[in-house]
Amino acid sequence: MMLGALLSAWSAVVPLGAVASMEVPSAVQAVMFRKIVGYDSVLGVKKPEEVVVCIAYQDDKVDAEELAQAFRTAGLKAAAIALTAVPRHVQKVDMLYIFNAKDAEVLKPLLAGVKLLTVSGDATLATAGTVTVALAVAEDGKPKIFVNTRRMQAEGHVLSASLLGLATVIKE
């Protein structure tokens, strides 16, 4: 299923009035990030089942475990890993999921020299330049993709023009 079709299909099942306070559900995030991997010239050369995702958590282990399961169901290798343990695993990881700004602040020194794709379900992290790709729910009820190109370049990734055409691109 093409990413654009996935965006439209998801919005058809979410009532518009419920969208304002929603985040993109774990299962939808996992499927979308799996699709996004295919648009990355670095990770796209790997088979999806070879892509390793670390869901870094500090206070939200249950949410991290749920999200890791969603990523595994979507066909990626994934594990929820406590923030304190992330440095021991970072060299084996292709994609790092960051929940929030507080977690990002803890990980900031580690991310300075690491070439992995950072992602989040919190779009403010992409707009702030903390992660490369983030998802949010738009006013029309569809998941919206945010891509920070400066962060993308710092992480050594190249996302295709077709993905950037579907995304809100942040160049700061």
Q: Secondary structure of 28-57 in the HEC alphabet? A: HHHHHHHHHHCCECCHHHCCHHHCEEEEEE
**Residue 18, C-beta contacts closer than 8 angstroms, at least 6 positions apart:** none
**Number of other CB atoms surrounding residue 13 within 10 Å:** 8
Residues 42-51 have a mean pLDDT of: 92
Pick the residue with more confidence: 14 or 136? 136
Closest CA to 135 of 11, 1, 47: 11
Pick the residue with more confidence: 111 or 123? 123
CATH of domain 3-11+24-165: 3.40.50.2300
pLDDT tens column, 52-99: 999 999 988 999 999 999 999 999 999 999 999 999 998 899 999 999
Mean pLDDT value across the chain: 87
Map out the domains of the chain as residue ranges: 3-11+24-165
Question: Residue 48's pLDDT is what?
Answer: 86
